[in-house]
Amino acid sequence: MSRDLSRRTKLVLYGALLVLAIPFVFPTWWMVTSSLKPVADIFAFPPQLLPVNPRFDAYRRVFESQPFGQQYLNSLYIALLVTIGTLAVSALAGYAFARIRFRGQNVLFLVVLAGLLIPSEVTIVPLFQMFFKLGLINTHWPLILVPIFGAPSVLATFIMRQFFISLPNELEEAARVDGLGRFATFWRIALPLSRPALGAVAIFTFLHSWNLYLEPIVFLSSPEKFTLPQALTQFVDAYGGPMWDVQLAAASMTALPVLVVFVIAQKQFVEGLAHTGLKG
Amino acid sequence: MTRTDTRVGPAEGRPTLGRARPFWTSRRRDQLTGYLFITPQVLGSAVFVILPLILVVWYSLHEWNVLAGTFDFVGTDNYQALAEDPNLGAVLRATGLFSVGLVVLNLGLALLLAVLLNQRLRGTILFRTLFFSPVVVSLVAWTIVWGFLLQDNGGVNGLLDTLGVDGPNWLRGEGTAMLSVIVVQVFKNVGLNMVLFLAALQGVPASLYEAAEVDGASRMRQFRLITVPMISPTILLTSIITVVGSLQVFAQIAVLTQGGPGTSTTVLVYYLYQQAFQFHHFGYGATLSILLFVTVLALTVLQWQMRKKWVFHES
C-alpha cells in the first residue's frame, strides 16, 4: 500500500505513530532514568523524565545485596551455550531432513515436530523428577540441556529445514559430483549459505534462554546459581518490601546490553526473523 | 509438508572415497550420514520431550507425596479430583480470558502497526525499531517496570491524573489485574507479530491495489477484500503462535499478581506451578499438565482445521 500521501495524512500518521510509541518506549526510558534517582524521586509527581539528582548508589547496592556479577555470568554463559548447542543440533537435523533421503525420515520428522505442541510447561513435573534422580537439581544442566534438545530447538530444526529446502540444490550437487562427502558439502557449501536462518535461530534462542523464568525458579535454589530473571525478583529489604531503586538498577543492567546490540543490528534482527522460515 | 528434493545419492558406479567394502555403497553411506545428522535432535527429543510426556501421563495416575515419600497408584482419582476442583472453573476462566484478550489485542495491534509502518513515510524504520524493542528487553525486567508503573501511585495513574481521570489500583482489582497482565504482555511481544505482518504486507502485489483503485474501491474495502485475504496465511501462523504462547504465560503472572487478587489471574500454568512446586502435589500437577497439553493440542488442531474456511491460499 505504498502510495504517496497528502501532507495532512502524513501528519495524522506521524501523530498516531508517536502516541502509539509511548507504551513501548516509556517503560524502558523510565526504568533507566529511575534507577539513577533516589527512591523518593521515583514516585515523584509529575514524574521526572530525567533524574534531577542522578546517582549510581543503587547500582552499587545491586552487587552488595546479591552475587549479581555471578548471576549475570550464569545467564550469559547458559544463553551462549544453549545458542551454540541449538545451532549445531538444528542445523544438522534440519539439513538431513531437507536434503538427505533415508528410511523412516517422515516418521522421525513428525516425532520431532510433535515437540512443537509440547511446551516445556507441560513436562516440567517429570523433568524435575528426572533431573532430581540424576542429582542435577540446583545445577545449570536442566537449563542447558532441555532447551538444546526440547521444544525451542524443535522450532529451530523446523526453521532450518524449511530454509535448506528453499536453497537451490545445484551448488551442493556440483560439490558432490566433485567428490565432496556429505559432511563436507554441509559444512562448506550449505552452512555458509544459511547464515540468515542461523542468525534468526541464534537470536530467538538466545532471547528464549535469557528470558527463562519458570525453569530457573523450579530447578535452582541458591543465589549464586540464580539466573538474571530470577535474581531480579529477589531485591527485597529486611521487611520483604521491594527495593525499587535497586531492582530498577538491576533490571537496567539486564536489559540495556541486549537493547544496545539490538539497536546496532536491528536490520538483521527484524528482517532475519521476518524472512526466515517463520514466514507463512 | 511437501518435499521438493527428490534427488537420490550420487550416480552409482563412481569410485567411492577410500576402499569401502561393497556393502557400503555411496547410497548407504549417505543414509548413515542422514541418521547421524538427526541423532542429536531425535535422541534429545525422545529423552527431553517424548519421555517426559509419557511420564506425565504415568504420574497423573498416582498419588505422590514428596514429603512423605509415597507414590501410590490411584487410577483416575486425580482426574476425579480435577473435575471436582472448586478452583478449576476460575482457573479455566482466567486462562480463557487471558488467551482471548491477548490474541485479539496482540493481532489487532500488530496489524494496525504493520499497516501504519507500510505507508510511504520517512522514519518508519525508526518506529519499527521502537515498536520491536520490548521484544529484546528481558521479560522479567519489562514486567517489573510495568508493575511499578501500575502501582496505585505509579506512572500510569499519574498520567491519567493529568487527564483528570482517577485511575484504579490496577493490580489489586479483579478485572483490572487481568487487563493489566494482558496489556503488559501485548506491548512486550506485539513487535514480533508486527514484523511478520509487515513482511506479509510487503509481499502483496501493488498491481492488485492499482486495479482496485481503477474500480473505485475505497481504502477500507481494499483492506478487507485484498489485504486481509492476501496475508491470511500469516494471520493463521501468528494466531497459532500467539495462542500457544498465551497458554504458556507464567513470569508475568508470578511477578505482577501471583495469581491474584483472589484467583482472578491464576492461569493454568501458574496453578500447575502452585500445585506441583509450592504444595508438592506432583500427581495432581501432572494431571494439570495433561489438561494444559490437551488444551494446546485442541486449539492448534482447531485453528488448523478452520484454516480452510478463511485462509485464502497456502504457500
The tens digit of pLDDT for each residue in A39-69 reads 878 777 777 778 888 888 889 999 988 999 9
- Establish if B181 belongs to a structural domain: yes
Q: In the prediction, which pLDDT does B5 show?
A: 45
Helix (H) or strand (E) holding B230: helix B228-230
Do A149 and B227 make contact, defined as CB atoms within 8 angstroms?
no
Lowest mean pLDDT among A7-11, A20-24, B92-96: A7-11
Amino acid at A67: P
Residue of chain B nearest A216, judged by CA positions = B251
Residue by residue, DSSP assigns A112-142 as HHGGGGS-TTTTHHHHHHHHHHTT-TTSSHH
Nearest to A23 by CA among B50, B78, B137: B137
Q: Indicate which CATH number applies to the domain containing B162.
A: 1.10.3720.10
Four-point Cα dihedral B42, B43, B47, B50, nearest 10: 30
Q: Is B234 within a domain?
A: yes
How many CB atoms lie under 10 A from the CB of residue B205?
Answer: 10
Q: Has residue A3 got a pLDDT over 70?
A: no
CA distance A201 to chain B (A): 14
Kindly report which listed range (B80-84, B114-118, B162-166) carries the lowest average pLDDT score.
B162-166
**Matching residue, cell 561393497:** B22
Check residue A280 and give its pLDDT.
37
Q: Range with the lowest mean pLDDT among A73-77, A92-96, B246-250, B277-281?
A: B277-281
C-alpha closest to that of A129 among B60, B4, B11: B60
DSSP per-residue string spanning B20-89: --TTS-HHHHHHHHHHHHHHHHHHHHIIIIIHHHHHHHHHHTEEEETTTTEEEE-TTHHHHHHHH-TTHH
| Residue B10 contacts A where some CB pair is shorter than 8 Å | yes
Q: Per-domain residue ranges for chain A?
A: 7-58, 66-234
Residues of B in contact with A273 (CB under 8 A): 192, 195-196
pLDDT band for position A134 (50/70/90)? very high
**What are residue B281's DSSP bridge partners?**
B65
What's the CATH class of domain A66-234? mainly alpha
Within 8 A of A117 by CB-CB distance, chain B residues are 244, 293, 296-297, 300
Distance separating alpha carbons of residues A207 and A211, to the nearest angstrom: 6
Q: Is the pLDDT of residue A124 over 50?
A: yes
Residue B9 banded pLDDT, cuts 50, 70, 90: very low
Q: What is the pLDDT of residues B143-183, one digit of tens each?
A: 999 998 898 888 888 888 888 888 888 988 888 999 999 99
Task: Indicate the residue type of B4.
Answer: T
Shortest Cα–Cα distance, B39 to chain A (Å): 8
B53 within some domain: no
Average pLDDT over every residue of B97-122: 94
Full domain range(s) for residue B230:
90-310
Of the residues A5, A19, A20, A24, the best mutation for testing chain B's interface (the one with the most B CB atoms within 10 Å of its CB) is: A24
CA distance B106 to chain A (A): 13
Q: CB contact, 8 Å: A129 with chain B?
A: yes
pLDDT for position B1: 40
Q: How far is CA A173 from CA A70, A176, B15, B25, in A?
A: 49, 5, 17, 18
Rounded Cα gap, residues A36 and A24, in angstroms: 21
Domain count, chain B: 1
A235-263: per-residue pLDDT in tens?
887 777 778 889 999 999 999 999 998 88
Alpha carbons A242 and A222: distance in angstroms, whole number = 20
- Give chain A's length: 280
pLDDT averaged over every residue in chain A: 88
Number of A–B residue contacts, CB under 8 Å = 329
**A218 contacts chain B (CB < 8 A):** yes
CB B62, CB B71: distance < 8 Å: yes
B286/A contact by beta carbon, under 8 A: yes
- On whether residue B266 sits in a domain, the answer given is yes
CA atoms within 13 A on the CB side of B59: 30
> Would B185 be classed as within a structural domain?
yes
Segment 210-269 of chain B within 8 Å of chain A by CB: 222, 227, 233-234, 236-237, 244, 247-248, 250-251, 254-255, 269
B1 touches A at CB < 8 Å: yes
pLDDT, residue A237, reads: 78
Higher pLDDT pick, A179 / B35: B35
Rounded distance between C-alpha atoms, residue A200 and residue A278, angstroms: 10
- Quick: pLDDT tens for B10-52: 444 455 555 555 677 778 888 899 999 999 999 999 999 999 9
| B286 contact residues in A (CB cutoff 8 A) | 125-126
pLDDT, one tens digit per residue, over B123-145 is: 888 999 999 999 999 999 999 99
Task: Tell me, yes or no, whether B104 lies in a domain.
Answer: yes
Hey, what's the cell of A145?
540441556
d(CA A158, CA A97): 9
Tell me the chain A residues in contact with residue B151 when contact means C-beta distances shorter than 8 Å: 43
A8 touches chain B (CB under 8 A): no
Q: Is the pLDDT of residue B315 over 50?
A: no
